[in-house]
Amino acid sequence: MPKTLRVATVGTGYFSQFHYDAWARIEEAELVALCSRNATTASDIALKYNIKSTYTNFISMLDEAKPDLVDIITPPETHVEFVKAAVERGIPCICQKPFTPSLKEAEALAHLIKQHNGKVIIHENFRFQPWYQEIKTLLDNNRLGKVYNVTFRLRPGDGQGKNAYLVRQPYFREMKRFLIHETGIHWIDVFRYLLGEVESIYADLQQLNPNIKGEDAGIVLFQFDHDIRAVFDGNRLADHSAQNTRLTMGEMQIEGSNASLILNGDGKINTRLHGEANWQPHEYKFSTDNFGGDCVFNLQQHVVNHILYQTELANPVESYMNNLTVEDLIYQSAESNTQRKFKK
């Protein structure tokens, strides 16, 4: 019989539904407690997933439930308090992104985690989407040859008008740093996962919707090792061709010496050999159920496997900090209209 990890959660907002669904499907995990400011929502979720204990106070939950792992599914303004409380009690935790509101706060919190020898994993789930897992395999197997260029065009189409983001995540509207801090950070991580470490960055950011406080469009040019360039072209107001524009949230193209690759909005991959005219479908297994090809489940199972079976871990805070440094350099570049170097 597999071991059982006792999991507690905090947060019952829109995105938490994907976390609770995933925990319910992980055989080695048992949801034992949840914390929320909304007692009614907490009660409904507890009933649905057979969670015995609900709390409105996070510290009380940690001290009474004594979980093996805490999943923090709340906005970034709460993360310092919650992560600090878990780390001081020696409880590993998964923390949603953005990790903290600023790089300075992230650096201070990372230092505290290191002092306590804590284990904190950032819930950066896009690298766990099945299409990026497959693309990583193709790159590692040299199927595309030397990579020249990578482009991702973010086009979720949910940012238009005076009611933008109100249905799902209204706090998006108040974020002074939005496109990169909240959304583009996913592709900072994906690009680093696929291509290695960033060398330099140039960014041009815009605010197109006057009803929100932060930028919602922009282009970022990344330079990587081995003369690889990548472009993140983000626009939350425009959409793309897909049955569900939130599945991949856009389209990717990779050009290499042996072949090129296109990821479309339905999660399908097509490749074309250098010198040939026609694109060919690349068959692989993926699901369109749940968010992002079930990447939330994939990440949480990954963390459980690490804790129980000591498998290799992605996105612990100490390695994730490079993503946040790159993010900050993007904003510096956009503000100064200059290229910024990443110091390794």
Q: What is the pLDDT of residues 10-51, one digit of tens each?
A: 999 999 999 999 999 999 999 999 999 999 999 999 999 999
What's residue 1's pLDDT?
A: 40
What's residue 343's pLDDT?
A: 85
What's residue 2's pLDDT?
A: 55
Q: For residue 220, what are the contacts with CB-CB under 8 A and spacing of at least 6?
A: 180, 184, 201, 202, 203, 204, 231, 232, 234, 330, 333
pTM of the complete model: 0.95
Q: What is the pLDDT of residues 47-106, one digit of tens each?
A: 999 999 999 999 999 999 999 999 999 999 999 999 999 999 999 999 999 999 999 999
In the structure encoding, which two tokens stand for residue 168, read together? Answer: 């799902």
Q: What's the whole-number average pLDDT of the chain?
A: 96
From the list 246, 247, 221, 249, the residue with the least C-alpha distance to 155 is 249
What's residue 77's pLDDT?
A: 94
What's residue 217's pLDDT?
A: 98
In the structure encoding, which two tokens stand for residue 38, read together? Answer: 């909304």
CB 202 within 8 A of CB 154: no
Domains of the chain: residue spans and CATH: 5-123+297-313 (3.40.50.720), 127-282+324-341 (3.30.360.10)
Per DSSP, the residues of 226-256 read: GGEEEEEEEESS---S-SSTTSSSEEEEEEE
Q: What is the pLDDT of residues 316-327, one digit of tens each?
A: 999 999 999 999
Tokens 């949603």 identify what position?
96
In this prediction, residue 157 has a pLDDT band, given cuts at 50, 70 and 90, of very high
Per DSSP, the residues of 274-332 read: TT----EEE------SSGGGTHHHHHHHHHHHHHHH----S-BHHHHHHHHHHHHHHHH
Dist. CA 59–CA 37, nearest whole Å: 13
| Residue, of 195 and 168, whose pLDDT is higher | 195
pLDDT of 200 above 50: yes
Dist. CA 209–CA 217, nearest whole Å: 9
pLDDT of 264 above 90: yes
CB 220 within 8 A of CB 202: yes
Amino acid symbol at 20: Y
Dist. CA 84–CA 317, nearest whole Å: 13
